[in-house]
Amino acid sequence: MAKRKAQQDPAVDQPDNDKIKDLEQFMEDSSGALMNTNTGVKINDDQNSLKAGERGASLLEDFILREKITHFDHERIPERVVHARGSGAHGVFKLYEPLPEYTKAQFLNDTSIETPVFVRFSTVAGSRGSTDLARDVRGFAVKFYTQEGNFDLVGNNMPVFFIQDAMKFPDLVHAVKPEPDNEIPQAASAHDTFWDFISVMPESTHMIMWLMSDRAIPRSYRMMEGFGVHTFRLVNAEGKSCFVKFHWKPLLGVHSVAWDEAQNISGKDPDFHRRDLWDAIESGNFPEWELGLQIVPEEDEFKFDFDLLDPTKIIPEELVPVRRVGKLTLNRNPENFFAETEQAAFHIGHVVPGIDFTNDPLLQGRLFSYTDTQLIRLGGPNFQEIPINRPIVPVHNNQRDGFMRQTINRGKVSYGPNSIGDNFPLQAKVSEGGFASYPERIDARKVRARSKSFLDHFSQAKLFFNSQSEPEKNHMIDAFSFELGKVQSNAVRQRMLGILSLVDKRLASEVGFALRLAIPEIPEQPMNRSIPADADPADYEPVVKKPSVAASPALSMATSPKNSIQTRKIAFIAADGVDGKSLNTVKAALENAGAIVEVVAPRQNFILSETDKEVPVNHSLLTAASVFYDGVYVPGGADSVATIAADADAVHFLNEAFKHCKAIAADSAAIPVIEATYFAKQVPAECTDESVLLDGIVVGDKPSTLADRFILALAQHRFWEREKPRKVPA
């Protein structure tokens, strides 16, 4: 275990691994050093440029000024065309049990290896400086530095995609990005061009259900699932192949925030997810996911009523269970955002022996796009030599030169075959770990076409909607109403209502109600716009099927385990005169259960308890907001209670926490504070475990019992039933 060498010493040990050791040779640390130029000349004056006299013009001769300004002028590189905003972290992957029957990949067979990883989470549509809490898909890209080379699993937090063929990717991205005439709106899909495109691309219907669900506004990167999306192949040592879908299952469960809350956080802390990930790792709360595999034997390829090659389809977990095979732990923050997170280059084509591709046409197009984009973004073909991208195994081949070449290749030979260099580097036999593509049989005509097996666009959209809890369905109705409400074109709105009516009548009619638009009797046939010029529309007619599985509990976040408050953030609202016991007993109990407690007071720095003890304050009501927390507690103490009850910001804090359906607790002595809130009438007359599970409001005069009940409430995450009256003025 080694501490990071960052200037700001982390609170906990953040372990080394082989990749970290590899990175260390490139690290620079200025502590105790004298300043010098890039050519190593010590700098005597970094304050003044060289001038012809004290008040004279600067001299061209000033190589120190020129070097400094030139470097600065070139500091920026193009942001990623999609997934521009992200955050990364180092970690390790540890396998639970060998999987030789499926794959020969060493990191999926040797349980003694800890494979180093670098993970980058991202939003998709927004620019580098946009908010973390946009309604959007989240990228979940994992680079495994295996002993057989790098394997990148470049996935998302949603298991399907908008389009079936990479040919449409630039169109999709042009539609969702800010509109080109005025570059509005930033990091939002709620605008005409996006919904115009979606309304004429029925294949996007399933993905749109995910995007309008709360999955698009996660509570934390640490509380999201991840998916490889496509069906990949695994290949074992005998050359036998099976199909696989990759999953990441977060050990903290899958949780989201409310949409109103997301918009609020976007203003108050646009770095909310980035900060959350960083802080969790700095404090030793290392985020964890289990790697899950859904394995389909090759002979079962056509067993399903959807095509395994269609990236708009999931394999319901009821049909093929997810087998958890190992654990990913993120245990180290980067030293430098640009060098590591920004320069990390992921590519779906980075595979190792034992993992291979399928003919999913979206996957196939991605195989081209990722290297191509790095060439422009990172400036040339040597981006693999950037420290974060280098494999932990040495690289030997005959590729040479190019911008910014780092490697000094010895000798005369840079070609093969050769005799001067004894034919080195030699090709590796398969038995020596050489990669050989899976020899899939292909016997086909060259065509531009879409398989008929890809034309069922609605049944899994229905499956997703039907699998949601009532509050989740309501949130989706609200999300569609919001997004289409921001659309100006009634024709686009109407076409979307037509599509929604093919998914669920209630969904369509409630969104139609909000838009005050009727659902078209016969939905316009949008496919007409998204077929080739000479195609027969009948060949592209969507197939309307009943889902083979009626509902899949795994698709609902409501089924996520609710037994832990690990890393949840709780605000204690207090002022001078706080009852120390009421504060400290509950604080200790919550911290003992793994939560993080912060004291929020009218002013910064500290408050005085009833017995004049200083209690540290983390935030004032000015710098904190209820949306940064998972729950709120108001301790007793007559003076504190009187101050808080009379403080409009404190009362707003509680009202807003109530509006966002969070657990709220108060010492019985703090009832005057609750009475000042909007929800005073909803506090149960008698507080029991049952009432707490129903309402999420805890009141009590015994701090230890109160703490137990508060923990029970916090573990539920949210009490969405409260949304029904929708009358909270926060």
Torsion, Cα of 582, 268, 329, 241 (10° steps): 140
Within 13 Å, how many C-alpha atoms sit on residue 79's CB side? 14
Toward ligand HDD, which CB reaches closer, 310 or 667? 310
In whole angstroms, the minimum distance from the beta carbon of 194 to ligand HDD comes to 16
Residue whose tokens read 């909607």: 465
Give the C-alpha separation, 369 to 82, whole Å. Answer: 12
Question: Of these, 155, 218, 635, 637, which contacts ligand HDD (CB under 6 A)?
Answer: 155
83 is catalytic: yes
Give the C-alpha separation, 440 to 437, whole Å. Answer: 8
In whole angstroms, the minimum distance from the beta carbon of 360 to ligand HDD comes to 8
Q: Is 268 helix (H, G, I), strand (E, B) or coil?
A: helix
Give the C-alpha separation, 242 to 272, whole Å. Answer: 40
In whole angstroms, the minimum distance from the beta carbon of 363 to ligand HDD comes to 7
- The letter for the amino acid at 644 is I
Give the C-alpha separation, 121 to 89, whole Å. Answer: 9
Please tell me whether residue 231 binds ligand HDD under the rule CB under 6 A.
no
Q: Is 470 helix (H, G, I), strand (E, B) or coil?
A: helix
543 token code pair = 């197939």
Residue 477 has phi, psi (to 5 degrees) of -60, -45
The catalytically annotated residue of 156, 331, 333, 389 is 156
701 token code pair = 């005069």
In whole angstroms, the minimum distance from the beta carbon of 225 to ligand HDD comes to 13
Please tell me whether residue 2 binds ligand HDD under the rule CB under 6 A.
no
Q: Count interface residues toward ligand HDD (CB under 6 A).
A: 26
Contact code string over 120-149 relative to ligand HDD, x by CB under 6 A: x-x----------------x-x--------
Question: Of these, 229, 549, 589, 697, which contacts ligand HDD (CB under 6 A)?
Answer: 229
Strands 323-332 and 288-297: antiparallel
- Cβ(249)–Cβ(322) under 8 Å? yes
In whole angstroms, the minimum distance from the beta carbon of 282 to ligand HDD comes to 21
CA dihedral for 106, 110, 113, 115, sign (positive or negative)? positive
Question: Of these, 92, 105, 133, 154, which contacts ligand HDD (CB under 6 A)?
Answer: 154
Within 13 Å, how many C-alpha atoms sit on residue 629's CB side? 30
Toward ligand HDD, which CB reaches closer, 220 or 494? 220
- Nearest residue to ligand HDD by CB is 139
- Cβ(556)–Cβ(565) under 8 Å? no
Look up residue 43 and give its DSSP letter: P
In whole angstroms, the minimum distance from the beta carbon of 344 to ligand HDD comes to 6
Site for ligand HDD in 169-188 (CB under 6 A): 169
213 token code pair = 């669900």
Stretch that binds ligand HDD, among 152-160, 186-194, 387-395, 534-542 (CB under 6 A): 152-160
Site for ligand HDD in 584-643 (CB under 6 A): none
Angle between helical axes of 259-268 and 470-486 (0-180°, round to 10): 60
- The letter for the amino acid at 114 is E
Question: Of these, 108, 166, 574, 600, which contacts ligand HDD (CB under 6 A)?
Answer: 166
Burial class (CB in 10 A: 0-12, 13-18, 19+), 648: exposed
Contact code string over 329-348 relative to ligand HDD, x by CB under 6 A: ---------------x-x--
Question: Of these, 369, 407, 560, 566, which contacts ligand HDD (CB under 6 A)?
Answer: 369
Site for ligand HDD in 432-491 (CB under 6 A): none
Site for ligand HDD in 257-316 (CB under 6 A): 311
In whole angstroms, the minimum distance from the beta carbon of 331 to ligand HDD comes to 19
Toward ligand HDD, which CB reaches closer, 311 or 577? 311
Contact code string over 348-367 relative to ligand HDD, x by CB under 6 A: --------------x--xx-
Site for ligand HDD in 186-205 (CB under 6 A): none
In whole angstroms, the minimum distance from the beta carbon of 228 to ligand HDD comes to 8
Contact code string over 41-80 relative to ligand HDD, x by CB under 6 A: ---------------------------------------x
Stretch that binds ligand HDD, among 5-13, 82-90, 183-191, 625-633 (CB under 6 A): 82-90
In whole angstroms, the minimum distance from the beta carbon of 75 to ligand HDD comes to 19
In whole angstroms, the minimum distance from the beta carbon of 189 to ligand HDD comes to 16
Give the residue from 260, 73, 245, 107 showing the smallest Cα distance to 729. Answer: 260
Give the number of other Cβ atoms within 10 Å of residue 570's Cβ.
24
The catalytically annotated residue of 83, 191, 347, 660 is 83
Residue 257 has phi, psi (to 5 degrees) of -105, 175
- Using CA atoms, how far residue 351 sits from 19, 107, 430, 647, in Å, is 18, 12, 15, 58
CB neighbour burial string for 252-274, b if at least 16 within 10 angstroms, e if fewer: bbbbbbbbebbbbbbeebbbbbb
Please tell me whether residue 248 binds ligand HDD under the rule CB under 6 A.
no
Beta bridge partners of 92: 116, 329
Question: Of these, 83, 249, 274, 587, which contacts ligand HDD (CB under 6 A)?
Answer: 83
Toward ligand HDD, which CB reaches closer, 124 or 487? 124
Where in the sequence numbering do the catalytic residues fall? 83, 156
- Catalog residues that contact ligand HDD under the rule CB under 6 A: 80-83, 86, 120, 122, 139, 141, 154-156, 161, 166, 169, 229-230, 311, 344, 346, 362, 365-366, 369-370, 373
